[in-house]
Amino acid sequence: MTKKRNRKGIILRLLTYLFHDKYLMALALIITFIGNYINLLVPRYSGNAVDAISAPGGVDFAGVFLNCRNMMICVVISVVLTYTTQRILIYISASITNRMRKQVFDHLMTMPVSFFDQHQAGDIISRISYDINTINTSLSGDLIMLLTTAITVVGSFIMMVRISPRMCIIFFFTTPMILLITRHRAKKVRPLFSRRSRLLGELNGFTEEMLSGHKTIKGYGQEETIIDKFAKRNLESVDAYYEAEYQGSIVGPTVQFINNFSLAVVSGFGAILYLRQLISIGNISSFIMYSRRFSGPISETANIIAELQSALSAAERVFALIDQPSEKADDPDAYVFEHPEGNVSFDQVHFSYIPGTEVLHGLDIHAHPGKMVAIVGPTGAGKTTIINLLMRFYDPDSGVISIDGHDILHATRHSLRKHFSMVLQDTWLFKGTIYENVAYGNDNATREDVINACKAAHIDEFIMSLKDGYDTVLTDDGVNISKGQKQLLTIARAMLSESKMLILDEATSNVDSYTEQQIQEAIRNLCKDKTTFIIAHRLSTIQSADQILVLDHGTIIEQGTHEELLEKRGFYARLFNAQWET
């Protein structure tokens, strides 16, 4: 019962997309109705022409030509109306695709970071592209086809009853058989289409992951292993696709067999009635043509229902994405950071990604305005988690994180985040010019500002060596430049920001030692008025920090300046000295 309610709910949600273009849909339905009505006249004129040929007094040529002319007129009008309908449906389909994709993408932009941490990008892309295409193919074309089928079936049946009620008795046996078979197969096929969509999404996710790590795969010589894994996933996906299509395609031939059988019975029964002079040859011809129009759409309906099952399965995946909760809305009276000084505090902050597995244990941090705070520690100590909490990508389980004395939980996320600029270990550049990438996030930046920031980041010389300089177009994620150069560009982007707080998460991890030394002083100068948080494994980059926090298993075990920590000869001193050991 729950599945049935869910299916009805999905269908109703899908219809809302059609309702947006209700006037065009109404026009398409009216044109379809008129076109089908005119098309239903063709068998009638055909039968009249046959009767005119076999008239008792000889061939009635005038009657033959008149009925043939009427047939031609009906066919031409029907074709024109069908073409018009298809044009309207194509427009509606494009409109639905645009609106649905925009809705999904807009919703993705409101979702919390935790969702993207838990779901493969390839699977999300599969839902936006393949699943929405599957939905729209059925939503515009198949639903109209079902309505067309209903008009044709009802109209044909009425015409057959008018010609010979006796011969219609045959369809009272064959039609229920078709409906029962179609309903039974629909129940069996729907889970198969759901499995097909799911496995295709997983295959896309795996493919996206492997392509992004292509260099690592080749570097470790794992090509054969990855090929085998892909082959296994691909085979599962293909098998699911085959099984769904195979089970769905069984309905069509079965229904076609029943229809052909009924046609044979109709022909035989019609011949008997003709011999008894209860029906004319022309009426038999018309009845057979109407019976084809009556049974043909029913056969097509079986195939359409299989496609609709696929669309419903795809819709489940798309709506599951749309129904994912957005990032928690800000309180109506939430505080708005206008011009923060950058006084940042963590007070007894506890946090866990997974309930019961705490990552941070009562963390206390205080960063004064304009000061540089460095956070070091072994992998998994919780360094990046601090950044996630600062940016409110996640919220603490308990404790308070405040800026200038204001709890960030009671402040708007937008005003909080716009006062932070970030340079992460995983650099991100979009397809566009170097100038556009560096100026990203600062709408007021001039070309001179961009050039000065790039000079400070020691990337200007490289940029000017390119043919188009700052107008050089970077390909997706900047794959046409080195990792170090990408990181320097993101550093320049952060330097250009007008924010009062700066986060550098392994910001120099992809920069060589010589370039690292060059940009250290530049970063220091540009960050002197900003509260800066630096996460670094290279301890040489943080020696000038005003405060160094040593984190281990979510707890601060040491803190002080570089010199103070070396004098303690503790954990930090061991980390620092280990860098110089050979």
Q: What is the CATH number of the domain that holds 409?
A: 3.40.50.300
CB count in 10 Å sphere of residue 574: 9
Instruction: Give yes or no: residues 23 and 112 share one domain.
Output: yes
- DSSP H/E element including 15: helix 2-19
Closest C-alpha among 143, 156, 136 to residue 28: 143
Q: Are 71 and 141 in the same domain?
A: yes
The CA-based diameter of the chain, rounded to the nearest angstrom, is: 125
- Within-domain flag for 389: yes
Q: Which of 43, 140, 137 is nearest to 85 (CA)?
A: 140
pLDDT category at 507 given cuts 50, 70, 90 is low
Q: Which DSSP category does 556 fall into?
A: E
How far apart are alpha carbons 152 and 132 in whole angstroms?
A: 29
pLDDT of 393-448, one tens digit each? 888 999 999 999 899 999 998 888 888 888 777 777 877 888 888 888 777 888 88
pLDDT of residue 400: 93
For the cut 60, the answer to whether the pLDDT of residue 5 exceeds it is no
Q: Are residues 402 and 444 in the same domain?
A: no
As for how many domains the chain has, the answer is 3
Looking at the fold, whether 472 and 520 belong to one and the same domain comes out as no
CB 572 within 8 A of CB 558: yes
pLDDT at position 521 is: 64
* Residue pair 364/348 in contact by the 8 Å Cβ criterion: yes
Token pair listed for 405: 């004395």
397 contacts 351 by C-beta, under 8 angstroms: yes
- Residues of the chain with pLDDT > 70: what percent? 87
Per the confidence metrics, is the pTM higher than 0.85?
no
Residue 337 and residue 318 share a domain? no
Q: Which of 230, 420, 235 is nearest to 342 (CA)?
A: 420
In a domain, 405, yes or no: yes
- Same domain? For 203 and 335 the reply is no
d(C-alpha 83, C-alpha 96), whole Å: 20
Report yes or no on 264 lying in a domain: yes
327: DSSP letter: S
Last residue of a domain, one of 498, 516, 536: 498
Q: Read off the amino acid at residue 147.
A: L
Query: Each residue of 527-570: pLDDT tens digit?
Result: 777 888 888 777 777 788 889 898 888 888 988 888 888 888 88
Instruction: Give the model's pLDDT for residue 303.
Output: 64
Q: Side chain identity at 304, as an amino acid letter?
A: I
Residue 458 has pLDDT above 90, yes or no: no
In a domain, residue 279? The reply is yes
**pLDDT at site 511:** 61
Last residue of a domain, one of 498, 516, 537: 498
167 has a pLDDT exceeding 50 = yes
**Is residue 162 pLDDT above 60, yes or no?**
yes
Contact 401, 346 (CB under 8 A): yes
Last residue of a domain, one of 272, 305, 322: 322
Residues 226 and 232: their CA atoms lie apart, in Å, by 10
Sign of the CA dihedral running 375, 380, 382, 385:
positive
pLDDT given for residue 438 in this prediction:
87
Tokens of 287: 């009845």
Percent helix, strand and coil across the chain, each rounded to 5? 65, 10, 25
Q: 3-state SS of 168-226?
A: HCCHHHHHHHHHHHHHHHHHHHHHHHHHHHHHHHHHHHHHHHHHHCHHHHHHCCCHHHH
Q: Name the token pair of 468.
A: 């188009």
105 exposure class (CB count in 10 Å sphere: 0-12, 13-18, 19+): exposed
- What count of residues does the chain have? 582
pLDDT at 461: 86
Question: Which one-letter amino acid corresponds to residue 479?
Answer: V
Same domain, 373 and 514: yes
Same domain membership, residue 112 and residue 47? yes
> Of residues 366 and 96, which shows the higher confidence score?
366
Higher pLDDT, 387 or 476: 387
Find all residues with CB under 8 Å of 47, minimum gap 6, and list them. 163, 280, 282, 283, 284, 285, 286, 287, 289
Closest by Cα among 320, 259, 350, 341 to 531: 341
Kindly state whether residue 156 falls inside one of the protein's structural domains.
Answer: yes
Is the pLDDT score of 331 beyond 80? Answer: yes
In sequence order, the β-bridge partners of residue 407 are 402
State the chain's mean pLDDT as an integer: 80
What does the alpha-carbon distance between residue 379 and residue 382 come to, in Å, rounded to a whole number? Answer: 8
| CA separation for the pair 233, 268 (Å, rounded) | 53
Residue with tokens 């043919």: 467
Domain that holds residue 575: 328-419+502-582
8 A C-beta contact, residue 151 and residue 36: yes
Query: What span, in angstroms and rounded, lies between the C-alpha atoms of 368 and 541?
Result: 20
Is there a domain that residue 25 lies in?
yes
* Signed CA dihedral, 515, 521, 524, 528: sign only: negative
Residue predicted with more confidence, 354 or 185: 354
Q: Position 182: which residue type? A: T
Secondary structure of residue 437 in the 3-state scheme:
helix
Q: What is the mean pLDDT of residues 94-113?
A: 86
pLDDT reading at 500 higher than 50:
yes
- 334 with 301, same domain? no
Give per-residue pLDDT as tens, 228-246: 888 888 888 888 888 877 7
Nearest one of 244, 264, 250 to 299, comparing CA atoms: 250
Question: Would residue 172 count as lying in a domain?
Answer: yes
The pLDDT tens digits for 247-298 are: 777 776 777 777 777 778 877 877 777 777 777 777 777 777 777 777 767 6
Residue 462 confidence (pLDDT) = 87
Q: In angstroms, what is the C-alpha Rg of the chain? A: 35
Region of residue 304 (left: phi > 0; alpha: psi -120 to 50; beta: else): alpha
Our CA angle for 419, 420, 425, nearest 5°, is 165
* Residue 185 and residue 143 in one domain: yes
The verdict on 358 and 451 lying in the same domain is no
Confirm if 153 and 297 have CB atoms less than 8 A apart: yes
At 582 the pLDDT is 45
Report the candidate in 425, 474, 479 with the shortest Cα–Cα distance to residue 211. 479
Q: In whole angstroms, what is the distance from residue 516 CA to residue 59 CA? A: 101
Phi/psi of residue 324, each to 5°?
Answer: -60, 135
The least confident of 33-47, 299-313, 537-551 is 299-313
C-beta separation of 348 from 399 below 8 A: yes
Residue 1 has pLDDT above 50, yes or no: no
**CATH code for the domain of 140:** 1.20.1560.10
Domain co-membership, 283 together with 295: yes
Sequence-ordered list of residues with C-beta below 8 angstroms from that of 510, at least 6 positions apart, any chain:
425, 427, 483, 484, 486, 487
* C-alpha torsion sign, points 384, 389, 394, 399: positive
Q: Residue 424 domain-assigned?
A: no
